[in-house]
C-alpha cells in the first residue's frame, strides 16, 4: 500500500492531484483545531486556534534560513570541486 502511494506521488501526471490532496489535508487539520477544547491552556497563545500550525511553520522557515546562512556564510559549505584539489 505504501509503495502504491509513493508511486502515485512520484508520477508526474499526478502532481496536481497530489497537491490538491495535501491542501485538503492541510485545511482539514487547521479546521479541526477550532473544535479543540482549550479550558486548560497554560498561556494565552494556546487559546488561539491555529497557533500550533503557524508556530510550526514559522519555526521551520527560520530553521531553513539560519541553516542556509550558516552553510553559506559560516564556511560549512565547500566548493563543488573541494576534494579534487
Q: Which residue has the cell 519555526?
A: 59
CB 22 within 8 Å of CB 8 = no
Q: What is the pLDDT of residue 53?
A: 82
Domain segments of the chain as ranges: 2-78
Q: What is the pLDDT of residue 61?
A: 95
pLDDT digits (tens, 9 = 90+) for 22-77: 899 988 888 888 888 888 888 998 888 888 888 988 999 999 999 999 988 877 77
76 secondary structure, DSSP code: -
Position 85 pLDDT exceeds 70: no
Amino acid at each position: 500500500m505504501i509503495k502504491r502511494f509513493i508511486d502515485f506521488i512520484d508520477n508526474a501526471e499526478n502532481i496536481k492531484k497530489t497537491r490538491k490532496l495535501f491542501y485538503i489535508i492541510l485545511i482539514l487539520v487547521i479546521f479541526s483545531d477550532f473544535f479543540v477544547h482549550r479550558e486548560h491552556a497554560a498561556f494565552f497563545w494556546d487559546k488561539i486556534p491555529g497557533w500550533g500550525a503557524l508556530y510550526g511553520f514559522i519555526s521551520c522557515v527560520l530553521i531553513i534560513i539560519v541553516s542556509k546562512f550558516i552553510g553559506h556564510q559560516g564556511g560549512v559549505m565547500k566548493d563543488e570541486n573541494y576534494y579534487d584539489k
